[in-house]
Amino acid sequence: MPSSLSRYQEWIEQEIKKQKYGKEPASLYEPIRYLMGLGGKRLRPMLTLLSYALFKNDVKRVVRYAVAVEAFHNFTLMHDDIMDKAPLRRGKATVHKKWNVNTAILSGDVMLVRVYDMLLTIEADKLKKVLKAFNKCAAEVCEGQQWDMEFEKEKTVTEAQYLNMIKLKTAVLLGFSLELGAILADASEKDCTALREFGTNIGIGFQLKDDLLDAYADPKKFGKQVGGDIIANKKTFLLIKALEKAKGKEKLALEQWLSIKKYRKQDKVKAVRSLFDSLGIPSLAEKKINHYFDKCFHNLEALTSLKSNTLQLKGFTETLIARQS
C-alpha cells in the first residue's frame, strides 16, 4: 500500500478510536464501539479521503467526516444483521447476538444520530449541500434493503430490478463517499457528479463480482462459505440469468434444486454451479462486471483537469477490482 494510503488508513483508525459516541447507559453505546472496532476494509472513508485529495492537500482536516460515512455504513450493518438474523459479522458475534435485538435497534438508532452530529461540524456554506446529498443516499439505502427483502418472496425478479436494488442498497453509499470528499474540497458541480457516478458504478460492479465470487471463489481465499447464495436460493445476477436462459431439462433441474428442502449443501452447490456453467452464466456475469467497471473509469476521465491527480484513486480502485475475496 503506498505511503499516503497507509497514512489515510492510520488516520481513519485513529479517528474511529477517538469517537466515543456517548457514555451512559453503557449498554447503549458499547455496542457501537464494539461494531466500529471490528475492522473491515474501511473502503468508504478511504474513498472520501481519496476524492478530497484530488483537489486539496490538507486531507487530515476531513477525516472526521470520512469516519461519519463509515459510522453510517456500520449503522446499516447493525440493523441489516437483525433483519437477516445473522449470527456473525467479520467473524465475531453480531450486536443483536452479543447483546439482544432491542439493544441493537436502539444502538443503531443513536448511531445514526451521532452521524448527524459529526456532519454538523462541516462549514456552514457546505453543510446544506452535504446533508441534502446524505439524506438522499440514506433513504435510497433503506429502499434498496426493502427491495432486497421483498425479492425473497418474489418468484421472478428481472435483471433490471436486481441491478436497481444493488445500486440502492450498496452502490449509492460509495457514490456519496466520493461526492462528499469533492463537496468538502469545493469541487465543481460537474466533478461532484462525475465522482458520485464513479462510486456508484464501482459499487454495482463490486456487488456483481461478489455474486460471482460467492459461487466460484477459491474457498481458501474467499473467507466464507463458497456457494452460500446458491444454498439460500438468493436471487443474485447469476440465478436471475440462469432462470431466464434455462430451457427443457436444465430448467426442470434448476427449479428442482430451488424447491427441494432436504439436500447435502455441497451437492446443491455443485449441481447448480454445473447448470450455471452449461448456460454460460459466468461469462455473462464477467461481461456485466466489466461493463460497470468500464463505466466507472469513464466517469473518472470526465475529470479532465485532474487527470494526473486521479492516478492514486484509479490505482486503489484497480486493486479492489482485482481482489479474489
Tell me: the pLDDT tens digits for 150-171? 999 998 999 999 999 999 999 9
* pLDDT over threshold 80, residue 308: no
pLDDT at 30: 95
pLDDT at 50: 96
Please give the distance of CA 319 from its chain centroid, rounded to a whole number: 16
Helices (H) and strands (E) in the chain, counts: 17, 2
pLDDT at 100: 94
Q: 67, 12 in Cβ contact below 8 A?
A: yes
Q: What is the mean pLDDT of the chain?
A: 93
- pLDDT band for position 39 (cuts 50, 70, 90): confident
- pLDDT band for position 226 (cuts 50, 70, 90): confident
Instruction: Give mean pLDDT, residues 159-186.
Output: 98
- What's the pLDDT tens digit per position in 52-93? 999 999 999 999 999 999 999 999 999 999 998 888 888 889
Helix, strand, coil share of the chain (percent; to 5): 75, 0, 20
User: Which contacts qualify for 210-218: CB closer than 8 Å, 24 or more apart?
Assistant: 211/236, 211/237, 211/238, 211/285, 212/237, 212/238, 212/282, 212/285, 212/286, 212/289, 213/324, 213/325, 215/269, 215/272, 215/273, 215/276, 216/273, 216/282, 217/324, 217/325, 218/324
* pLDDT over threshold 60, residue 136: yes
Which pTM value belongs to this model? Answer: 0.93
pLDDT at 1: 52
Beta bridge partners of 93: 88
Instruction: Give mean pLDDT, residues 138-149.
Output: 97
pLDDT at 304: 61
Instruction: Give mean pLDDT, residues 39-55.
Output: 95
* Domains of the chain from N-terminus onward: 1-121 (1.10.600.10), 138-325 (1.10.600.10)
Give 38's DSSP letter: T
The cell numbers describing 247, all together, are 430451457
Please give the distance of CA 298 from its chain centroid, rounded to a whole number: 21
